[in-house]
């Protein structure tokens, strides 16, 4: 558990990495506060939460806060917007920077007005004291040098003194989106802009052996056909023209055979048979071990999952001599710049990468890939900007997927069925191949050039950073001993990278399903069973809260079932407990998800609830419907018809209880629900039908398969 009072004082991580105060906060002559975070809006409402924090700490109306989009031209470098860390990292940095800035201004105001700082009050940026003396941030701004480094020890307001944080302020970006004011990169046009499209084969890893260009050249509006090795694309005066030229170019293209993809029906066997790097993630040795009576072993799998953004990825690029400016919905502008610099062999300062909003990405999709595509196509456009957008088919087949996983849990039980030892092993590709992390680029087109870079094989972040495939694999429960192992594949025929929760969804599904099975075997209530093995009071609180809210356990009715799932995301983040109510026999329908969540201080409670609801519904879609399909040579689920997701008529009711802890450090909410929702649904299926489905997704076929195994 973390308490807020830091001693000895240390700067928050993002502020320590970017200590210059003016890189975060400036005051404009027009009476605005300009806040410049390194994190970006990806539909999660972060910009609003950060504005709330700044407005609170500085005592200004939130209407005065202008949020700047991240850019390598001047924003703090906060790495990547991922892992539910934005409030934790950016929020803390802004809170501490503002607390210090507030004191700097109070000190100067005190000197000017001849009033002690204690007697001064700030209201909407106006600093006033006894006898009607007053000044303001903006009046003093010219005499305050914020180009100085933050000093540790600034004391932010107490939670009870905050006016905005803890309140459900309406999101700043929503009006633009319902009134269709262009905010998305897809809707942005630059003067003289051209349109680009890239040609890619459906066949995985195929090489471009021939490219007849005549038909594409004849299409009206064509500006250029670009080819560099296996990378090819078109640039046109119009978007329609670019589409038509691409269609013509595709007809003129010949491709080699590609590389063989695994058998989608034998994934677990395949994952376990690949060359892998094996790591012991964690080991706990028993102080006093009970006597092993028997061993239970279970295997769980999850398939490859698509990010499935509603918008195909999009980027703009414009060259000026040997400098290039890139507009992107990447989650990490500095990281993308680093990869672009490797591919282009340019110094970093020749590349500016600026964020613009895209649709929700849910992790590392093709946002970064299309940025390199745009940069390569724009080379053929003189000094004109080019906007490049992927097709739906490419988005669903060439963007990285969330990695498939095989998970084996083995527990030794004593004569009473109590756990005396626990072993958890994971097989699968790494969960991260984001750009900017290595000496080689992770961008798709980099592997297609005439002088190609090798394919970047996904890795796993260290457990200290939350882990990757192993995320949430270390038990939160007080088992006497355990060993956790991870086998990361060294081959990657199907491209994987970060998808919301990384390995946590799979691991929580496995652990919570296994526990449910053990509890059922003992005839013990699953809520009681979990509480008995948890000593963290915050963990117990969310489980008790959700049980109470869902009237656990509702009496049995035909064709219905109830199941529980719990986790603390990344073992250090948000606590989340879920009870699922399902119905059905052949096709499972999730009727209701009741959720209790503890994110510490909730800066924007409705924003937290919105994230939890969204995560819960997305997880329901993963569990019931989603699975990337492929044959020996290509990804076949490249349309919404072949990769169905949950529809309005299939969405469960979602009820969220937020446990407020205003004095605890805030943590993110975006990924807390996926694991527990997955497990809760699977456990509810068992409650209703008496079968354990251990291979996701829980479709009719999988139910039949599981029933056959049971009988």
Binding-site ranges for another protein (CB under 8 A): 42-45, 168, 170-171, 173-175, 177-184, 186-187, 238-240, 243, 308-312, 357-360, 362, 389, 391-392, 606-607, 610-611, 613-618, 621, 639-641, 645-649, 651, 653-654
Question: Which of the 8 DSSP states describes residue 91?
Answer: I
Do 620 and 593 touch, CB atoms closer than 8 A?
A: yes
Cβ distance to another protein smaller for residue 557 or 647: 647
CA–CA separation, 262 and 493 (whole Å): 8
With contact defined as beta carbons under 8 Å apart, do 357 and 70 qualify?
Answer: no
Nearer of residues 239 and 541 to another protein, judged by Cβ: 239
Residue whose CB is less far from another protein, 70 or 664: 70
DSSP 8-state code for residue 455: P
Minimum CB–partner distance for residue 14 and another protein (Å): 24
| Minimum distance of another protein from residue 360's CB (angstroms) | 4
Give the pair of three-digit tokens for residue 109: 């105001």
Mapping DSSP to helix (H, G, I), strand (E, B) and coil, where does residue 547 land? Answer: helix
* Least separation in angstroms between CB 644 and another protein: 9
Shortest Cβ 47–another protein spacing (Å): 12
CA dist., res. 419 & res. 413, Å (int): 5
Considering the complex, state which of residue 238 and residue 540 has its C-beta at the smaller distance from another protein.
238
Helix (H) or strand (E) run with residue 209 in it: strand 208-211
Secondary structure E strands in 535-588: 560-568, 575-583
Smallest distance, Å, CB 131 to another protein? 43
Separation CA 151–CA 154 (nearest Å): 7
| Residue 608 Cβ vs another protein, minimum distance, rounded to whole Å | 12
Measured in whole angstroms, the distance separating CA 34 from the mean position of its chain's CA atoms is 26
Distances (CA, A) of 357 to 11, 573, 610: 29, 26, 19
Closest CB 679 distance from another protein, rounded Å: 18
Query: CB of 44: closest distance to another protein in angstroms?
Result: 7
- Give the count of beta carbons closer than 10 Å to the beta carbon of residue 10: 12
CB-wise, 169 or 442, nearer to another protein?
169
DSSP character for 401?
Answer: B
CA distance 232 to 200: 8
Q: What is the closest distance, in whole angstroms, from the C-beta atom of residue 648 to another protein in the complex?
A: 4
The token pair that represents 268 in the structure block: 């677990």
Cβ proximity to another protein: between 235 and 646 the closer is 646
Three-state DSSP at 294 gives strand
Q: How far apart are CA 13 and CA 88, in angstroms?
A: 9
Take residue 42 and report the two structure tokens written for it: 């990806």
Least Å distance, CB 237 to another protein, is: 11
Whole-number minimum distance, CB 145 to another protein, in Å?
Answer: 39
Give whichever of 180 and 439 is closer to another protein, judged by the CB atom.
180
Q: How far apart are CA 563 and CA 592, in angstroms?
A: 11
Query: CB-wise, 20 or 651, nearer to another protein?
Result: 651
- Calpha distance 74→203 (Å, rounded): 41
163-167 long-range contacts (CB < 8 A, ≥24 apart) are: 163/56, 163/59, 164/52, 164/53, 164/55, 164/56, 164/62, 165/52, 165/53, 165/56, 165/601, 165/603, 165/604, 166/601, 166/602, 166/603, 166/605, 166/660, 166/662, 167/52, 167/604, 167/605
Strand, helix or coil for residue 53? helix
Which CB atom, from 384 or from 455, has the smaller least distance to another protein?
Answer: 384
* Residue 345 or 647 having the CB closest to another protein: 647
Residue 211's SS3 state is strand
Q: Closest CB to another protein among 116 and 182?
A: 182
Give 276's strand partners: 489
Residue with smaller CB distance to another protein, 356 or 543: 356
Question: How does strand 222-228 pair with strand 231-236?
Answer: antiparallel
CB of residue 579 vs another protein: minimum separation in angstroms?
A: 17
**What is the nearest approach in angstroms of another protein to the Cβ of residue 507?**
21
Q: Shortest distance, CB of residue 340 to another protein, whole angstroms?
A: 25
Q: Which residues contact 7 (CB under 8 A, 6 or more apart)?
A: none
- Judged by beta carbon, residue 617 or residue 689, the one nearer another protein is 617
Reported in sequence order, the residue ranges of 237-293 that DSSP labels E, i.e. its strands, are 253-255, 276-284
Stated length of the chain: 711
Kindly tell me which of 8 and 648 has the beta carbon lying closer to another protein.
648
Q: Residue 26: which residues within 8 A CB-CB, separation 6 or more?
A: 33, 34, 36, 146
Query: How many Å apart are CA 214 and CA 248, to the nearest integer?
Result: 9
* CB closer to another protein, 178 vs 439: 178
Nearest approach in angstroms of CB 94 to another protein is 22
Q: Which is nearer to another protein, 45 or 468 (CB)?
A: 45
Closest Cα to residue 15, out of 4, 5, 25? 25
The least distance separating another protein from the CB of residue 174, rounded to whole angstroms, comes to 6
Q: How far apart are CA 592 and CA 654, in angstroms?
A: 6
CA dihedral 572, 575, 580, 586 (to 10 degrees): -10
């Amino acid at each position: 558990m973390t308490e807020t009072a830091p001693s000895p004082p240390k700067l928050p991580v993002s502020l320590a990495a970017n200590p210059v105060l003016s890189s975060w906060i400036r005051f404009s002559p027009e009476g605005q506060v300009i806040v410049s975070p390194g994190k970006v809006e990806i539909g999660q409402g972060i910009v609003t939460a950060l504005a709330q924090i700044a407005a609170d700490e500085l005592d200004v109306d939130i209407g005065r806060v202008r949020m700047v989009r991240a850019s390598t031209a001047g924003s703090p470098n906060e790495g990547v917007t991922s892992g539910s860390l934005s409030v934790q990292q950016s929020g803390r940095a802004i809170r501490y920077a503002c607390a210090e800035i507030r004191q700097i201004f109070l000190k100067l105001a005190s000197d000017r007005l001849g009033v002690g700082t204690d007697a001064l009050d700030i209201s909407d940026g106006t600093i006033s004291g006894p006898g009607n003396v007053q000044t303001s941030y903006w009046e003093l701004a010219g005499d305050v040098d914020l180009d100085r480094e933050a000093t540790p020890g600034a004391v932010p307001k107490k939670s009870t003194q905050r006016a905005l944080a803890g309140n459900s302020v309406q999101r700043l970006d929503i009006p633009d989106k319902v009134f269709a004011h262009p905010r998305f990169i897809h809707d942005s046009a630059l003067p003289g802009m051209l349109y680009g499209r890239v040609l890619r084969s459906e066949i995985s890893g195929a090489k471009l052996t021939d490219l007849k260009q005549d038909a594409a050249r004849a299409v009206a509006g064509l500006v250029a056909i670009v080819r560099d090795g296996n990378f090819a694309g078109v640039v046109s005066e119009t978007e329609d023209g670019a589409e038509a030229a691409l269609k013509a170019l595709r007809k003129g293209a010949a491709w080699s055979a590609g590389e063989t993809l695994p058998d989608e029906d034998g994934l677990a066997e395949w994952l376990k048979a690949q060359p892998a790097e094996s790591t012991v993630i964690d080991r706990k040795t028993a102080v006093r071990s009970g006597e092993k009576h028997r061993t239970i072993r279970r295997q769980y799998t999850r398939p490859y999952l698509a990010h499935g953004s509603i918008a195909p990825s999009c980027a703009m690029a414009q060259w000026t001599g040997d400098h290039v400016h890139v507009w992107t919905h990447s989650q990490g502008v500095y990281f993308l710049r680093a990869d672009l610099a490797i591919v282009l062999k340019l110094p970093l300062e020749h590349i500016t990468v600026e964020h613009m909003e895209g649709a929700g990405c849910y992790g590392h999709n093709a946002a970064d890939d299309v940025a390199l595509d745009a940069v390569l196509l724009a080379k053929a456009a003189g000094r004109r900007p080019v906007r490049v957008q992927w097709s739906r088919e490419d988005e669903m087949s060439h963007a990285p997927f969330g990695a498939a996983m095989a998970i084996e849990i083995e527990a030794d039980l004593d004569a009473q069925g109590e756990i005396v030892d626990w072993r958890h092993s994971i097989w699968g590709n790494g969960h991260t191949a984001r750009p900017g992390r290595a000496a080689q680029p992770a961008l798709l087109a980099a592997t297609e050039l005439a002088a190609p870079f090798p394919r970047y094989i996904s890795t796993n972040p260290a457990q200290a950073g939350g882990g990757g495939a192993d995320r949430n694999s270390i038990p939160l429960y007080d088992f006497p001993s355990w060993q956790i192992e991870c086998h990361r594949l060294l081959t990657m025929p199907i491209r994987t990278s970060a998808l919301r929760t990384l390995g946590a969804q799979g691991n929580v599904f496995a652990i919570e399903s296994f526990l449910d099975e053990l509890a059922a075997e003992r005839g013990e209530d699953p809520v009681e069973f979990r509480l008995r093995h948890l000593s963290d009071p915050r963990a117990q609180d969310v489980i008790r809260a959700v049980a109470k809210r869902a009237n656990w356990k509702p009496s049995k009715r035909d064709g219905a079932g109830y199941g529980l799932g719990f986790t603390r995301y990344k073992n250090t983040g948000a606590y989340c407990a879920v009870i699922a109510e399902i119905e059905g026999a052949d096709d499972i329908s999730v009727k209701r998800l009741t959720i209790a969540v503890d994110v510490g201080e909730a800066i924007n409670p409705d924003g937290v609830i919105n994230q939890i609801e969204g995560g819960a519904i997305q997880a329901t879609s993963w569990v019931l419907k989603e699975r990337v399909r492929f044959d020996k040579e290509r990804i076949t689920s490249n349309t919404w018809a072949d990769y169905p997701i949950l529809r309005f008529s299939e969405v469960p009711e979602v009820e969220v209880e937020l446990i407020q802890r205003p004095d605890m450090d805030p943590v993110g909410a975006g990924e807390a629900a996926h694991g527990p929702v997955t497990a809760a649904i699977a456990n509810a299926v068992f409650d209703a039908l008496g079968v354990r489905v251990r291979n996701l997704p829980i479709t009719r076929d999988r139910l039949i398969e599981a029933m056959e195994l049971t009988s």
